[in-house]
Structure 1
């Protein structure tokens, strides 16, 4: 941790895991216990999932730097405003973090799951890592936390695992799912009806497992074919384990 006058602080991207606080690494816990600034992303008016995970587990004297998204799911990714406004948001967030680093204070940026796997931290990393010392602390991903909770062996031997986003068009999803031995569909939530249809077209709906808020107290794990509706929160994904076979 930086404590030399005139020396810039270090930027830490800290993966805090998929939801269960006990799945945070020892290194993440150590850094959070020492960092003078803890930054986290959140929806406007909410604390954010990453902040909830670390409740009571970071330096009580630390400054909390809340970085509030201008929107989350209200504006579609394809809307021209999305890229423009989100870029401006990350530019401003980077300026706020840089101001603390310039004061010689280390900044630990929280990220649920792993910082470099669909994590918002990476957009700060893109903007700041070339100017400041930066270290990424990996975290247990949402998908590995979910397949552990589902008790679903995902790959065996030389199986190929495909990770796709539920925001893809249905034809693209169906094509990739059909060609994979096993798959994880991230960002299933509002795209669940399309994901279900793509899995059916790929002939893999019977193997699909829906996991909602995996490793969290409100966790739901169910065969997708048995789920009676297509409603799902942001923290949901679909697992397609490899076919079971004997060695």
Structure 2
């Protein structure tokens, strides 16, 4: 039997990919990746120029649109059918003694779409996962500033949460990493303003990738809601006294 191998691609810069992931991608005969209909897909863009000649590409196009609320029964039904269908197709390839490398931005087990395939496949075909650097890690390193100090607690939030839930989580947080911003960014801004942390917040767009932008969130236009962006609020915990370099 073949197997399914998910390669975590890291934050976006191909140079930050694991050596094992790089090797698997360059030798793969079947490559699968998620994308929106009509788009190249972020994962596919990251591996541009890395695929072996003749590699068969399987573009897994999401069926949903922004017109369908993400918490609606229709949305959940469409996505479940999407994952069921692709799990079946990948399992059939593995059953035919093929190895399929599935691309996943960041780390596959950290909010990655591959998780939904993994739970459907793991009891039926061999599945392996190559870890990757999460996108937020690339973002705070791109800033060149430690995100946590001493005993700081890092809270990771989804911008899709209701505004009052964002406020409740932010109120007791030391450091914050807020994902899935995009059109949710105005709500994130209001929540940060409500807890008095807006002036400490930074927007990192396309961290570690071409076109990277780092700017104070308070200075970003309210209508500027980039999709590939994370909001960071650095912790203020205890730290050693800086003595400088002689």
CA RMSD in angstroms, aligned pairs only:
1.4
Q: Show the 5 A alignment for 1:11-30.
A: 11-30=4-23
Contact conserved, 2:11 with 2:133, CA < 8 A, in 1?
yes
| 1:111 counterpart residue number | 104
Q: Show the 5 A alignment for 1:24-63.
A: 24-63=17-56
C-alpha displacement at 1:46, in angstroms? 1.4
**In terms of mean alpha carbon deviation, does 165-174 or 28-37 score higher?**
28-37
Give 3-state SS (helix, strand or coil) of 1:52's partner.
helix
2:198 to 205, 217, 222: 205
Alpha-carbon distance change, 161 to 110 in structure 1, aligned in 2, over 3 angstroms: same
Contact conserved, 2:150 with 2:239, CA < 8 A, in 1?
no
Structure 2 CA distance, aligned partners of 1:200 and 1:243?
A: 18
Q: Deviations over 1:4-24 (max 9, x none)?
A: xxxx11111111112111111
Give 3-state SS (helix, strand or coil) of 1:136's partner.
strand
C-alpha displacement at 1:246, in angstroms? 4.3
| 1:192 counterpart residue number | 185
User: Which runs of 5 or more residues in structure 2 are unaligned?
Assistant: 241-246
| 2:217 counterpart residue number | 224
Contact conserved, 2:148 with 2:237, CA < 8 A, in 1?
no
1:138 to 131, 134, 156: 131
User: Which runs of 5 or more residues in structure 1 are unaligned?
Assistant: 1-7
Structure 1 CA distance, aligned partners of 2:35 and 2:171?
A: 36
Structure 2 CA distance, aligned partners of 1:102 and 1:182?
A: 46
Structure 2 CA distance, aligned partners of 1:72 and 1:24?
A: 30
Give 3-state SS (helix, strand or coil) of 1:46's partner.
coil
C-alpha displacement at 1:84, in angstroms? 0.4
Q: Give the TM-score, by structure 1 length.
A: 0.93
Contact conserved, 2:182 with 2:226, CA < 8 A, in 1?
yes
Q: Deviations over 1:199-218 (max 9, x none)?
A: 11112111100111111112
Q: Show the 5 A alignment for 1:120-159.
A: 120-159=113-152
Segments ≥4 residues shifted beyond 4 Å: none
Q: Give the TM-score, by structure 2 length.
A: 0.93
